[in-house]
Amino acid sequence: MYDGKLKQSILIFCLLLLFWASGAVVDTALWGHETYLTPSWLVKNLPLFWLVLNQFLLPLLVLLVIKPKLNTLILYLSAAFSGSVLWDLIYSVLTRGELVSDSLERWFTLDFLNLVIGVGEAQAIYFHIFRLLVSAALFYWFFRRLVREYSSRP
């Protein structure tokens, strides 16, 4: 029992260190200082570091270390789909002054793959609705698994 908790604590500690280290990488790219030149590969691939590693993968890994169950993954993915809609709506309001705008025209870019996923204003509503439906379906799946899990207990 003690050994399992110690191993879990060490994993959480290491994942949090990775989380903060990736935050420092993003901070450096965003607020490059005069005495330090941010490498061009970092600036080009900032979405990879910021969105994939810092905002999606590291929090997911921390949660799975704390509670390594399929239910945790399903709940996280449900929240991630809804959270991405909320993120895009807030970003649109702050940058364009509109709830739904063309702020998604360059939604995600990986320069080293020459990959650009863009969503225009007309497609943004459908994109938001799709992600909310996926979120609702995942949450329903989570809820059904939770009910089944607790109803089978004596």
Of the candidates 18, 49, 68, which is a domain's last residue? 68
Q: Are residues 76 and 152 in the same domain?
A: yes
Q: Are residues 94 and 113 in the same domain?
A: yes
pLDDT tens for 43-87 read: 777 777 777 888 888 888 888 888 888 988 998 999 989 988 888
Q: Are residues 112 and 148 in the same domain?
A: yes
How many structural domains is the chain composed of? 2
Q: Are residues 99 and 117 in the same domain?
A: yes
Can you give the chain as a three-state secondary structure string?
Answer: CHHHHHHHHHHHHHHHHHHHHHHHHHHHHHCCCCCCCCCHHHHHCHHHHHHHHHHHHHHHHHHHHHCCCHHHHHHHHHHHHHHHHHHHHHHHHHHHCCCCCHHHCCCEEEHHHCEEECCCHHHHHHHHHHHHHHHHHHHHHHHHHHHHHHHCCC
Q: Are residues 81 and 130 in the same domain?
A: yes
pLDDT tens for 15-34 read: 766 776 776 666 666 655 55
Of the candidates 39, 68, 97, which is a domain's last residue? 68
Q: Are residues 84 and 145 in the same domain?
A: yes
Q: Are residues 61 and 76 in the same domain?
A: no
Look up the domain containing 39 and give its range. Answer: 1-68
